[in-house]
């Protein structure tokens, strides 16, 4: 924990996350109400699945199917690392180490440790992709993440142990007797159940889906812990700005609507009832179908923002 006074950006972030004097925890019956609501809406879909073969829904799956169905179908059974993805993995590992390692460390030290940990612990996944990069590409990857970790340190307030910070926390919620289950992996949480703050770390351009991501996490959290989080926030490491939204009945109901619409799309596509549609967007740039997709290429030719995001 640093004894240094906070700089103006750190103070602004801290103020955004602070508990308001008028904060009231979620009502005891809200979790039951939300669960009943989402279970009823999903029941027509759940009958197509079983606890042994459930419909699994994560933030990534929801975003992909809502973004472009053709991309979802193309990537459904495969996963390929890319530079933006591995950059996010190294950044998250570096921030995990930054928060938990005692003693002063430079961003370069932290990133080197993060790269070492990934190479040691994730052989066969990110480590193989990193190993496949040329020395120059590996140097670029390291430099980019050092820049991001420096920005994080310069703008996010140091976390005190009594705030109960947890990084990369997994959660799971079963619905409809286990025929549908939701999974989440939050970048950072602060605080106890009932007053928890969920924080997603992003880079690149801000996106309307970022709030949707957080609302999905909040939904999983209330279904799991039976208490709604207090706040859900996106911290953009590039812009060093935070977007915090109080978790309310309305935001949870919005998450339920998006979840149910996504589950319907997944069910239709997974059981091959209809062909997938194409919806060009900034994610076309990482799509494995891009070379054969006129819609995606046309979109990117006219898109002025070429920043990466994850
Ligand atoms: S390139 Fe874009 S529009 Fe085409 S399939 Fe991929 S994500 Fe969809």
Which residues have CB under 6 Å of ligand 1?
A: 68, 70-71, 278, 280, 283-284, 287, 289-290, 293, 295-296
Give the Å distance between the CA of 238 and the centre of ligand 1: 26
Give the Å distance between the CA of 183 and the centre of ligand 1: 25
Residue 11: band (very low, low, confident or very high) from pLDDT cuts 50, 70, 90: very high
Give the Å distance between the CA of 45 and the centre of ligand 1: 26
pLDDT for residue 123: 53
Domain 25-77+161-266 in CATH 3.90.320: yes
Which residue owns the Cα nearest ligand 1 atom 3?
Answer: 280
255-282 average pLDDT score? 93
Give the Å distance between the CA of 66 and the centre of ligand 1: 12
Counting atoms of ligand 1 from 1, which one is nearest the CA of 287?
6
Counting atoms of ligand 1 from 1, which one is nearest the CA of 295?
3
Counting atoms of ligand 1 from 1, which one is nearest the CA of 69?
8
Mutate to test the pocket of ligand 1, among 78, 209, 296 (most ligand atoms within 8 A of CB): 296
Mutate to test the pocket of ligand 1, among 287, 294, 299 (most ligand atoms within 8 A of CB): 287
Which residue owns the Cα nearest ligand 1 atom 7?
Answer: 284
Q: Return the higher-pLDDT residue of 126 and 164.
A: 164
Q: With helix as H, strand as E and coil as C, how does the chain read?
A: CCCCCCCHHHHHHHHHHCCCCCCCCCCCCHHHHHHHHHHHHHHHHHCCCCCCCCEEEEHHHHHHHHHCHHHHHHHCCCCCCCHHHHHHHHHHHHHHHHHHCCCCCCHHHHHHHHHHHHHHHCCCCHHHHHHHCCHHHHHHHHHHHHHHHHHHHHHCCCCCHHHCCEEEEEEEEEEHHHCEEEEEEEEEEECCCCCCEEEEEECCCCCCHHHHHHHHHHHHHHHHHCCCCCEEEEEECCCCEEEEEECCHHHHHHHHHHHHHHHHHHHHHHCCCCCCCCCCCHHHHHCCCHHHCHHHHHHHHHCCCCCCCC
Counting atoms of ligand 1 from 1, which one is nearest the CA of 279?
3
Dump pLDDT digits (tens) for 89-98: 999 999 999 9
Give the Å distance between the CA of 307 and the centre of ligand 1: 17
Q: What is the pLDDT of the chain when averaged over all its residues? A: 91
Give the Å distance between the CA of 137 and the centre of ligand 1: 26
Mutate to test the pocket of ligand 1, among 66, 289, 297 (most ligand atoms within 8 A of CB): 289
Please tell me the pTM assigned to this model.
0.91
Dump pLDDT digits (tens) for 175-204: 999 999 999 999 999 999 889 999 999 988
Dump pLDDT digits (tens) for 221-248: 999 999 999 999 999 999 999 999 999 9
pLDDT for residue 46: 97
Give the Å distance between the CA of 298 and the centre of ligand 1: 10
What are the residue boundaries of the structural domains of the chain, listed by start? 25-77+161-266, 83-155
């Amino acid at each position: 924990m640093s004894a240094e006074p906070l700089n103006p950006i750190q103070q602004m972030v801290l103020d955004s996350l602070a508990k308001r004097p008028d904060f009231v925890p979620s009502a005891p019956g809200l979790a039951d109400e939300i669960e009943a609501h989402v279970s009823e809406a999903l029941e027509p879909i759940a009958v197509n699945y079983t606890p042994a073969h459930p419909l699994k829904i994560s933030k990534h799956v929801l975003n992909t199917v809502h973004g472009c169905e053709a991309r979802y179908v193309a990537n459904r059974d495969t996963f390929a690392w890319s530079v933006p993805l591995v950059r996010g993995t190294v950044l998250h590992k570096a921030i995990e180490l930054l928060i938990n390692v005692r003693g002063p460390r430079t961003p370069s030290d932290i990133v080197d440790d993060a790269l070492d940990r990934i190479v040691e612990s994730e052989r066969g996944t990110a480590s193989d992709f990193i190993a496949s990069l040329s020395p120059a590409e590996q140097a670029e990857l390291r430099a980019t993440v050092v820049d991001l970790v420096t920005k994080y340190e310069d703008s996010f307030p140091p976390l005190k142990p009594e705030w109960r910070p947890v990084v990369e926390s997994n959660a799971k919620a079963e619905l409809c007797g286990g025929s549908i289950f939701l999974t989440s992996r939050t970048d950072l949480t602060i605080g106890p159940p009932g007053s928890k703050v969920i924080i997603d770390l992003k880079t690149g351009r801000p996106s309307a889906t970022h709030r949707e991501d957080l609302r999905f996490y909040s939904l999983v959290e209330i279904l799991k812990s039976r208490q709604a989080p207090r706040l859900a926030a996106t911290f953009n490491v590039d812009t060093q700005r935070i977007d915090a939204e109080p978790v309310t009945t309305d935001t949870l109901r919005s998450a339920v609507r998006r979840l149910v619409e996504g589950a319907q799309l997944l069910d239709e596509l997974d059981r091959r009832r209809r062909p997938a549609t194409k919806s060009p967007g900034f994610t076309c740039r990482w799509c494995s179908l891009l070379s054969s997709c006129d819609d995606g290429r046309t979109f990117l030719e006219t898109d002025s923002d070429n920043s990466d995001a994850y």
